[in-house]
Structure 1
Amino acid sequence: MNQIAPSPRSRVVRVGDRGHYDAATLHAILDAGYVCHVAFVHDGQPMVIPTAYWREADHLYIHGSTKSRMAMALATGIPASVAVTLLDGLVLARSAFHHSMNYRSVVAMGVFEKIPDEHKMAALEAFTERVAPGRWADIRAPNRQEMKGTMVLRMPLDEASAKIRSGPPKDDAEDMAIPAWAGVLPFTQGFAMPVPDPQLGAGVALPDYLRTLTSR
């Protein structure tokens, strides 16, 4: 199994046994999410920007307007960090101190690079297919002007770690007799039934790939 050697920055220190560094775990968490938070420093001010992302092989990709502050800053090669968190449940303990959450998260650090213009279309197709597999064939591809105004950047996942908490609360022995309900309140996310555009033409049926997403 491909293992990413933790660096001093990426090694999980707090509750270190929750840390994971194998590529399979990192990729599975990233592939289950849609939104990441990108952190960087711009003009001396720390910034954290939520944005859509996707993964291809050992790189994390984002895109944005060529005039956006984030895209322009990251394209200069400044250091950045990316975080993705998936909430799996609320952990309700017998004591206030031991309440927690079950989660899966990834933190990656490194430098983004702007991908060449000749590779942008393929990257945006991969992004579209990541969001809704089968969608690219149904829609108009970006035109020349839209491509000109879009920047795609990627960061290698060679300095990253996953952190996972699962299972029931971990109450102290002396609290086990407290007559309060304890356990896990699972949290799940999924797609509801699609809401059609009011201007959708008659006879345009819901595609099967969207039915598949809503049935997950």
Structure 2
Amino acid sequence: MKKMLKKTNGVSHTKRIMMVFDTPAEAMRICPVIQKLERIENVIPVIVISEQLETAQVMQDILALFQVKVHYTLPITADEHQNLDQLTGWALNDLTEIVKREKIVSTIVCGNTRIAFAATLSSYYNGIPVTQVKGPAIYQEDENAFLGSTSKDLIGSLAKQEMILGLEESLQTIVTRHDTLFLAEESAHKKMILVDYQGKTDQKKKCLKKYFKDLNKLQTSTKK
């Protein structure tokens, strides 16, 4: 198991909130909240994510966009040498260590993923209140959830409250920083096409490839 990133901020704060998320879509929703928490006096968010494989670069780009620093990375991605029991046990141990070391007073988890479930359970065992962040009802997250739709019931029964977040604030940040984020020719009118992608199933991956193929054709046609 890889060693976790150690938090280096030496400033003492009275309230530390553990923020746990796992996917780029979750990062898009929660990063504006993290920015707001960072501006509150005597509050410091402690950022925890899982090790990224397929979406590593996308996740890093989103975190860089919002200037969010990750304090801990948990290696709970399954492979042929690690089973689900081991990964869950390691995650619980690591998260409990974080809760105690950082003196966490509240936990915010995103979605119904494996790391969200482990963070919720660890916080519950240590008497830490949990808030679960969900996307709007239009986003069907159950099919990508840890243990399927069951995890929604498991986490929901342990979380003290629920919060619904969309992508409005994130999109506003992207539009505001359009000139520095995307290469664009000088023009009085600049347009963007935003593509929302949910899930990792083979069918959705095929759809995503088709999206990019069509977008490439559109970009080529507009340059002619």
Q: Same fold (TM over 0.5)?
A: no
Q: TM-score, normalised by structure 2?
A: 0.22
Q: Which structure has the larger Rg?
A: 1
State the TM-score, normalizing by the size of structure 1.
0.23
Q: Which has the higher helix share?
A: 2
The higher-RCO structure (CA 8 Å, 6+ apart) is 1
Structure richer in strand, relative to its length: 1
